[in-house]
Amino acid sequence: MFANLLAGWLGRQSHPGLRPLTDAIQRVKWAGTASIVERVSIREMLPDSHHYITYDGSLTQPPCHETVTWILLNKPVYITKQQIFGAKTLFRMLKKGPLLHEAPN
């Protein structure tokens, strides 16, 4: 599992490996729309290999299967305020905003 990457540190420039995902988030505006991400590389999203650790663990919700590899970063991955805002806006809309109101019933 690749968790909490977008909870990275705020910076003036984002980590270049995040750009395909943050750009795709910006393109999703309405229910039923999608944004194709041409190329995503988990390796490019992570800092150099000596700056993170992994451990085997479990899911955080029942049934809590022990099938997860957690990745903990020892070095920050930077993201801009605009990129954080874009992700928050999308997730908020998924819960209660225009994405739900525009969906067919």
* Domains of the chain, earliest start first: 5-99 (3.10.200.10)
Q: Which residues contact 10 (CB under 8 A, 6 or more apart)?
A: 78, 79, 80, 81, 84
What integer is the mean pLDDT of 43-56? 78
- Given a contact cutoff of 8 angstroms between Cβ atoms, the answer to whether 58 and 67 are in contact is yes
CA angle 89, 71, 92 (to 5 degrees): 10
CB 77 within 8 A of CB 18: yes
Average pLDDT, the chain: 72
Say if pTM beats, i.e. exceeds, 0.75: no
pLDDT at 43: 78
| Pair of tokens at residue 64 | 């809590």
For residue 52, what are the β-bridge partners? 73
Digit-coded pLDDT (tens) for 62-102: 888 899 888 888 877 777 887 777 777 766 666 555 544 44
The residue with tokens 């451990």 is 55
